[in-house]
Chains A and B, each alone.
Chain A
């Protein structure tokens, strides 16, 4: 099951000897330049029919101001609104195209020094975990590529093999990310005070605040200000 227990992208990952420390990474804007809207736009352009692609692309483009407004309101509201656009997409098609989405969109947008940071973190013996509001099937290839031990992502709900436009609860966003991380840490014997968290967005303040080593990565203005106030380190992986 995708979340919140986490996903093991590689069958070789072992849970038998739980690690005491972990590094939790947000994805969009933190490890990669793109965001979930780009991923959806790519899906929209790759519908089974030309007219379907056209209709979904136009619809997505027209909705961008709405997405922006919802995101300003709250990340939860944005997610609820945004994932409705997946309604009617078949699960097998989404999963199938995820690999190509990764190759076409996600891999080229990985920040150049993100793999280096992850490698450095792994050398310290930390469990590497992605915590993202993105969808599980889009995150899985990225997690595998970056050598993550685990990932926590949102899941779509499906009815008869088709997305019904709703997300499985709990949503991975905002304060819930912190709650999920606490649960995850408790289950895996991780000491959050000795963990790292990396994010670019102020909406991830709870996720950053719950660990001992919060780090702002390519931060937005509010997170940069917050990081300055709390003397959190600020990284630029670009």
Chain B
């Protein structure tokens, strides 16, 4: 491995760095490992903002938000003895990786439940708003809500949403666009719904919380379509997202039947802390200690089996801090939280790239504590999330080359992702056309009794979920000219995904240049932590 050379960098934009003759090699995530690669001179490396300073007293900030809500009376003024209340909370897909304890949801629940008890409210159910995600385990739930809440409420009054429970779901009607609004019966029958949200990226929160988190398959299939994704430029920019517009319409119908008091939070991007904090730094600024730490970590990872590496990574929580909390009516609250999210994540960038390089980490919203980031999830990270991390226009030019680094192993978690296995092995060899897959196979998978049983009583994602993952990448697939996977440990997976593979980053860049020209503008997204580009 090449040594990282410390270098003194002149003052300038710390988020957009140009590679020069004496620049250090850059670190890319490569699944449960890292690559350390030299980049061509002139390559633009985009770094996230530094973490915004966390609120000094999160508990006080939460109480302030509850007492000074947007477009609502203070929470205490809404409460009456004997009320029926449902509290819905975001699931384990947020934040990534899971945050250090206490999770912000635990802090909020502590405060809210105390307030409810003070007002004589005891008919309280806490529902984990999983939508069609997998059920959280008892241990995961305990970690999220804290011992006190878990011991008092699990499992009778603290449980996972079940979108396939015929008795637990209710259809509220249709939106003016004909989208079916199917949601959780307990929430609808409650006098008040309190939603406890975490916003990690701008597509979270807002009407998505109730409109998606508590919905059923019939609702979700209205907007989780390849068409909606293609018409979302990007789905991380709610104003330009057909997906977000559909969710808003559904959320507004929910609002007609439910009184929803939304508590939204924004976290900073302090993903790495302590001995790992050097991973958030510009490599040119590495100290000798940073260099040694990275080399030691790389050496250790190389000697460690993949499964153990995963376990280690999954056990390192992030030191996220609360940077904003607002409560009240869904839309004004979401506006305020979005502002803060954009402040944390958005990086102004001049001009698009011909070749975009990105490392894919070990984690996605859909494989927390899973045995692998399976090929469909690698695909969704590349062509779904990373491609869509922009406002205004995509960072990558139309027809450009996307280079991703990941082993792309043919590995799935059969407990969490059983339907993914069938989708990948049975459907993708037949077609990669998302529209064909949607019309020909989505219903079959969604209604598969085995998958429904595994979703409802095991810990499997819903049978339709792999389709959504494939649709998530549709805009990227239509936009990108070629995807090259660096370091794929096999040929089959990249071939099934429609990608090419290269052994090294240098080889991939050379392949990219052969398509885009010798003077191709190359950009590397240096994430995680998350960043979004404001491309002008």
A residues sitting closer than 8 Å to B (CB atoms) are 23, 113, 116-117, 120-121, 123-124, 126, 196, 213, 215, 228, 231, 233-237
Task: Assess whether B414 is in contact with A124, with CB atoms less than 8 Å apart.
Answer: no
Task: Assess whether A233 is in contact with B414, with CB atoms less than 8 Å apart.
Answer: yes
Picked from B164, B448, B457, the residue with its CB within 8 Å of the CB of A124 is B448
Task: Assess whether B447 is in contact with A123, with CB atoms less than 8 Å apart.
Answer: yes
- A selection of 15 A-B contacts at a CB cut-off of 8 Å is A23-B449, A113-B457, A120-B164, A120-B453, A123-B449, A126-B449, A196-B449, A213-B448, A231-B418, A233-B414, A233-B418, A233-B454, A234-B414, A234-B415, A235-B458
Q: A164–B453 Cα gap in the complex (Å)?
A: 42
B residues sitting closer than 8 Å to A (CB atoms) are 164, 412, 414-415, 418, 421-422, 425, 447-454, 456-458
Q: A78–B346 Cα gap in the complex (Å)?
A: 69
Q: Give min CB distance, A121 to chain B, whole Å.
A: 4
Q: A117–B456 Cα gap in the complex (Å)?
A: 11
Of A113, A126, A234, most buried by chain B (CB within 10 Å of CB) is A234
Which residues of B lie under 8 Å from residue A231 when comparing CB positions?
412, 414, 418, 421-422, 425
Q: A113–B454 Cα gap in the complex (Å)?
A: 11
Q: Give min CB distance, B138 to chain A, whole Å.
A: 16
Q: A113–B455 Cα gap in the complex (Å)?
A: 13
Q: A227–B415 Cα gap in the complex (Å)?
A: 12
Which residues of A lie under 8 Å from residue B449 when comparing CB positions?
23, 117, 120-121, 123-124, 126, 196
Task: Assess whether B450 is in contact with A233, with CB atoms less than 8 Å apart.
Answer: yes
Q: A236–B454 Cα gap in the complex (Å)?
A: 8
Q: Give min CB distance, A200 to chain B, whole Å.
A: 14
What 4 additional pairs, Cβ within 8 angstroms, besides A113-B457, A231-B414, A231-B425?
Answer: A120-B453, A124-B449, A231-B421, A237-B453
Q: Give min CB distance, B164 to chain A, whole Å.
A: 8
Which residues of B lie under 8 Å from residue A23 when comparing CB positions?
449
Q: Which 3 pairs between the two chains have the least Cβ-Cβ distance?
A: A120-B449, A121-B449, A231-B421
Q: A113-B453, A234-B414, A235-B454 are in contact. Are A124 and B421 (CB under 8 A)?
A: no
Q: Give min CB distance, A23 to chain B, whole Å.
A: 7
Which residues of A lie under 8 Å from residue B414 when comparing CB positions?
228, 231, 233-234
Q: A117–B422 Cα gap in the complex (Å)?
A: 20
Which residues of B lie under 8 Å from residue A236 when comparing CB positions?
457-458
Of all chain B residues, the one with the shortest Cβ separation from A121 is: B449
Which residues of A lie under 8 Å from residue B453 when comparing CB positions?
113, 116-117, 120, 235, 237
Which residues of A lie under 8 Å from residue B164 when comparing CB positions?
120
Which residues of A lie under 8 Å from residue B415 when comparing CB positions?
234
Q: Give min CB distance, B495 to chain A, whole Å.
A: 19
Q: A123–B217 Cα gap in the complex (Å)?
A: 15
Which residues of B lie under 8 Å from residue A237 when comparing CB positions?
453
Q: Give min CB distance, B423 to chain A, whole Å.
A: 11
Of B414, B452, B453, most buried by chain A (CB within 10 Å of CB) is B453
Q: A121–B454 Cα gap in the complex (Å)?
A: 13
Which residues of A lie under 8 Å from residue B421 when comparing CB positions?
231
